[in-house]
Structure 1
Amino acid sequence: MGPAFLFDEQAPAYDANGFHDRVATALVDGLGNTPVQTVLDVATGTGAAAFAALRLLDPESVTALDISGGMITRAQERAAEFDPEGRISWLVAPAVPAPASDVDLVLCASSLHFLGLAAIEDWLRVLKPGGRVAFTLPFAGTFNPSGPIAGHVAADLPIPSDVDEAAAVAAGFADVRVRRWETDGRVVFLVHGRKP
């Protein structure tokens, strides 16, 4: 069973408890008032980070992609409320390599642990010089994938136990900042950096 099918199955209820929306809002809020024109939201799921970027950063455009057509369909349904002007472009596409270049900001909420370190390298390609990256990582102490999903966790990306280990994942980026953040008894690391 491939990851697209697994996430298609989860799409209808993926955002029901609000966890992914809260994580994405905290991630984007951590960027401060950084002006951005173009945003790429990688592995968007049901669009939480894309919608947070619209609300908090007011970019000219957002491209949101996911390998799961079911997730993109659910995101488009949510867009009626959260993006009534249709500023987000939705793509069913693999995360690596991302079909983009020269963007100001790459977002990836709640997904890097499925993509692996190749995504970090690809984001360095996709971003403009000085462009920003913001992604989350699960905390090893509370991360316990099970069932078919567990088989899709990237083998090359160590799940961090502390902020230093989380910062190490952002190799190649400058000005890396990491914050440990908790909601609903789950801990994630919010990681921000800049392409040199």
Structure 2
Amino acid sequence: MFEKLIQLDKELLIYLNNLGSERWDSFWLVITNQFYWIPLFAFVIFLLFREFAWKKGLFLVLFIFAMAAFSDQFTNFIRGVFERLRPNNDPAINEMLRTLITPQSFSFTSGHATTSTAFAVFVFLLLKKRIPLIKWVFVFPVFFAYSRLYLGVHFPIDIFTGACVGTCIGFAFYKLQAFLVSKLFA
């Protein structure tokens, strides 16, 4: 059963990855790079300061950084436990993939999916009552995570699991910040 799931995971990646074309490669290379998402992060920081004033806003921004650091380290821990090869390093399928980058770390679970989903969930929960359009923040993890499939550096299970873990992290950090805010800013 597990072997069948892994085989389906590989087949789905090969299919999705091969939908790509040279015409779109540069677009997905931009999407996968955190640097190009800085305007989104800056806009969210602006919204936090606008909605919560400078003290609480600064606390929330620092809390997001702490959440991102935790998410990153937790992802690295999971990778160290499972040690799943990235698709671009998997000799069984790497010749069947279009790969544009070749990271060497392990694949399971996707840090891009985990951290971007944690960020989106946290920001959504913080701002949903104040800014109804904040739901559009979920476009970020969808595109950011899909870029990893397009580039052939993660399997679909890595992305799905990363999104699930990121949802849990985002929710847990939201609850933790609510508790701390009630104590610090009461």
The structure richer in strand per residue is: 1
Higher relative contact order (CA 8 A, sep 6+): 2
TM range (shorter): under 0.3
**TM-score (norm: length of structure 1):** 0.25
**TM-score (norm: length of structure 2):** 0.25
The structure richer in helix per residue is: 2
